[in-house]
Structure 1
Amino acid sequence: MAFWFLFILLLGLATYLMVQHSVAHITRTPVWLLWLVLMTPALLLSGWTLMYGTKQPPPPGLILSCLFVCTLLYLILFQWGRRVSSDTPTPAQAPESQPTIQPTPEPIVRPIEPTEETQLRNCFPWSVYYVQNIEYRPQSVICRGQLRTKASNAYQQIKTNIEAQFGDRFLLIFQEGFNGKPFFVLVPNTQAAKDRNTPRRDQERLTRPGLALLLLVATLITTTFVGVGIAGASLPPLSETSSLLKFLSNPDVLLKGLPYALGLMTILGIHELGHYLTARSYKIRSTLPYFIPVPFFLGTFGAFIQMRSPIPNRKALFDISIAGPIAGFVITLPLLIWGLAHSDVVPLIEEKTRFLNPNALNPKYSILLAFLSKLALGSQLTAKSALDLHPVAVAGFLGLIVTALNLMPVGQLDGGHIVHAMFGQRTAIVIGQVSRLLLLLLSLVREEFLMWAIILLFMPLIDEPALNDVTELDNKRDIGGLLAMALLIVIILPLPQAIANFLQI
Structure 2
Amino acid sequence: MADWILLALVGSATYLLLQKSVARLSKVPWRILWLVMMLPPLVWVLGRQVFQYELPPLLMLLLFLTSYFTSMTLVRRGGIRPSTGGPRPEVENSSPEADPSPAGEPEPEEEEEDGAADPVSLALAHTPISEVPREKLSHCFPWNVFYLQNVEYRPQAIICRGNLRADPSEAYERVQQNVETTFGKRFLVVLQEGFAGKPFFALVPNPAARRSLADSRELPLLALGLLLFTFWTTLSAGAQAAGVSPDRLLHLPSLMKGLPYAVGILAILGSHEWTRYWVARRHHIKTSLPYFIPVPFVLGTFGAFIQLKEPVPNRKVLFDIAAAGPLAGSLVALGMLLLGLVFSAPADPPTVPEGQPTPISFHRIDPRLSVLLAILARMVLGDQLQPGQVIELHPLAFAGWLGLVVIAFNLMPVGQLDGGHIVHAVYGQRMGANVGRVARWLVLLLALTVQPWLLLWALLLFVISSADEPALNDVTELDEARDLLGLGMLTLLVLILLPVPPFLQNGLGLA
Q: TM-score range by the shorter chain?
A: 0.7 to 0.9
TM-score under structure 1 length normalisation: 0.88
Displacement of 1:465 after TM fit?
1.0
Q: What one-letter code is carried by the residue in structure 2 that aligns with 1:17?
A: L
Q: Which residue of 1 aligns with 2:165?
A: 148
For residues 41 and 107 of structure 1, do their structure 2 counterparts lie closer, same or farther at Cα, with a shift above 3 Å needed? closer
Q: Is the 8 A contact 1:216 1:291 kept in 2?
A: yes
Q: How many residues align?
A: 472
- 5+ unaligned residues in a row in structure 2: which ranges? 83-93, 106-126
Q: Which residue of 1 aligns with 2:114?
A: none
Aligned ranges 1:436-475 → 2 under 5 Å: 436-446=440-450, 447-475=452-480
Aligned ranges 1:60-459 → 2 under 5 Å: 60-82=57-79, 111-112=128-129, 114=131, 116-192=133-209, 194=211, 198=213, 206-236=217-247, 247-248=249-250, 250-349=251-350, 351=352, 356-446=360-450, 447-459=452-464
Displacement of 1:418 after TM fit?
0.5
Displacement of 1:51 after TM fit?
2.5
For residues 266 and 355 of structure 1, do their structure 2 counterparts lie closer, same or farther at Cα, with a shift above 3 Å needed? farther
For residues 397 and 354 of structure 1, do their structure 2 counterparts lie closer, same or farther at Cα, with a shift above 3 Å needed? farther
Q: Is the 8 A contact 1:409 1:435 kept in 2?
A: yes
Aligned ranges 1:17-96 → 2 under 5 Å: 17-53=16-52, 56-82=53-79
- 5+ unaligned residues in a row in structure 1: which ranges? 92-104, 237-243
TM-score under structure 2 length normalisation: 0.87
Q: Which residue of 1 aligns with 2:488?
A: 483
Displacement of 1:350 after TM fit?
6.1
Deviation readout 1:5-52 (Å, 9 max, x if unpaired):
222122112112222333333322121122222222112212212332
* Aligned-partner SS, 2:308: coil
Displacement of 1:306 after TM fit?
0.8
Deviation readout 1:308-355 (Å, 9 max, x if unpaired):
111101111111001111110010111111111101211134639957
For residues 485 and 119 of structure 1, do their structure 2 counterparts lie closer, same or farther at Cα, with a shift above 3 Å needed? same
Tell me whether 258-267 or 181-190 shows the greater mean CA deviation: 181-190
For residues 504 and 12 of structure 1, do their structure 2 counterparts lie closer, same or farther at Cα, with a shift above 3 Å needed? same
* Aligned-partner SS, 1:442: helix
Aligned ranges 1:6-25 → 2 under 5 Å: 6-25=5-24
Mapped partners of 1:5, 1:336: distance in 2:
30
Identity %: 46
Task: Please provide the CA RMSD for this pair.
Answer: 2.4
Deviation readout 1:350-373 (Å, 9 max, x if unpaired):
639957414421011101101111
* Aligned-partner SS, 1:387: strand
Q: What one-letter code is carried by the residue in structure 2 that aligns with 1:163?
A: E
For residues 157 and 265 of structure 1, do their structure 2 counterparts lie closer, same or farther at Cα, with a shift above 3 Å needed? same
Deviation readout 1:190-219 (Å, 9 max, x if unpaired):
314647xx4xxx68x733111111000000
Mapped partners of 2:499, 2:129: distance in 1:
57
* Aligned-partner SS, 2:477: coil
Tell me whether 421-430 or 11-20 shows the greater mean CA deviation: 11-20
Displacement of 1:82 after TM fit?
2.6
Q: Is the 8 A contact 1:176 1:182 kept in 2?
A: yes
Mapped partners of 1:420, 1:139: distance in 2:
24
